[in-house]
Amino acid sequence: MSCLDSILSAGDPPSGESSGGGQSVNAKCSYGFSSMRGKRAFMEDFYEAQFALVEDQTVGLFGVFDGHGGCRAADYVQKNLFKNLIKHSKFISDTKAAIVETYQQTDSEYLKHENSQHRDAGSTASTAVLVGDRLLVANVGDSRAVICRSGKAVALSNDHKPSRKDERQRIENAGGVVMWAGTWRVGGVLAVSRAFGDRLLKPFVVAEPELQEEIINDEVEFLVLASDGLWDVVTNQDAVTMVQSIPDAEEAARKLTDEALRKGSADNITCIVVRFHNDMN
């Protein structure tokens, strides 16, 4: 397999506010991102948006990583997840299997990397991989992916919360407990049920992603990837409606983060908007 040939990339952790964007060489896909610390004292959101050349095929790689317990896990995942993925021997031939295995590989490597740390840290991940006309969305935690299909919001991920019946059952089957502590939490500690890291909550908190695939056709206009700093205060449909009238992806991403702050989001806020230009020849 050929190595990464990065064409356009974004992903350095912002200390306050940052935004930017880019587009694929054939101009059929463009992206914009916006990230702000918001009302939090520290920034724990990280993001990645890039086009890369893998086996002579241009692919899009987009991700939002929301850290908890510090930024170590989100920083590590942002730097290593996609790097590991494009090296996977089945990245092109069996992309779904490659994504699942790479999530778990990256989690395992992070835990080894963290072996000397005494304080636990973890990170959600919501990623989208564009290979040809296939969009593969993988998720652990409560960052979220939503597409606009013919003007309607369609979620391509399902938040991993301990209150989800199937997640609670999985945790209890593994010997863990879900307790109420202001909200439902794994072991009374963590408000998400899947994440990278969180060594002290293994095997209850796992980094096994749920995947959904979408074929990009004329009905699919754009994708919004965002941390829960957006989704805590903005509905899926409201986000789609706001973005729909803004052709520029970076401007659209900034609109979303600004609106989340205006609506009182108390968290870090990070958004990536990926527009599909299906009318391009």
Residue spans per domain, the chain: 5-160+209-276
* Cα of 272 vs its chain's centroid, Å: 9
Is this model's pTM higher than 0.85 or not? yes
- Cβ-based neighbours of 112, under 8 Å, separated by 6 or more: none
- Whether the Cβ atoms of residue 223 and residue 126 lie closer than 8 Å to each other: no
- Express each pLDDT in 7-66 by its tens digit: 344 554 444 689 999 998 888 899 999 999 999 999 999 999 999 999 888 999 999 999
- Express each pLDDT in 174-201 by its tens digit: 999 999 999 999 999 999 999 999 999 9
What pLDDT score was predicted for residue 278?
Answer: 74
Buried b (16+ CB within 10 A) or exposed e, 122-159: bbbbbbbbbbeeebbbbbbbbbbbbbbeeeebbebbeb
- Cβ-based neighbours of 18, under 8 Å, separated by 6 or more: 12, 33, 34, 35, 36
- Express each pLDDT in 106-142 by its tens digit: 999 999 988 776 788 999 999 999 999 999 999 999 9
Counting residues of the chain whose pLDDT is more than 70, the rounded percentage is: 93
At 279, the pLDDT band (50, 70, 90 cuts) reads low
Residues written for the chain: 281
HEC per residue, 78-146: HHHHHHHHHHCCCCCCCHHHHHHHHHHHHHHHHHHHCCCCCCCCEECEEEEEEECCEEEEEEECCCEEE
Average model confidence (pLDDT) across the chain: 92
Taking the C-alpha atoms of residue 171 and residue 179, their distance in angstroms, rounded to an integer, is 11
Counting residues of the chain whose pLDDT is more than 90, the rounded percentage is: 86
Instruction: Report the first-to-last Cα separation within the chain, whole angstroms.
Output: 29
- Express each pLDDT in 227-266 by its tens digit: 999 999 999 999 999 999 999 999 999 999 999 999 999 9
What pLDDT score was predicted for residue 168?
Answer: 98
User: Which H or E run includes 23?
Assistant: strand 17-23
- Per CATH, the number for 5-160+209-276 is 3.60.40.10
Q: Which of 230, 212, 236, 241 is nearest to 150 (CA)?
A: 241
**Long-range contacts, 168-172 (Cβ 8 Å, 24+):** 168/193, 171/204
Q: Does residue 4 surpass a pLDDT of 70? A: no
What pLDDT score was predicted for residue 16?
Answer: 66
Residue indicated by tokens 């992206």: 31
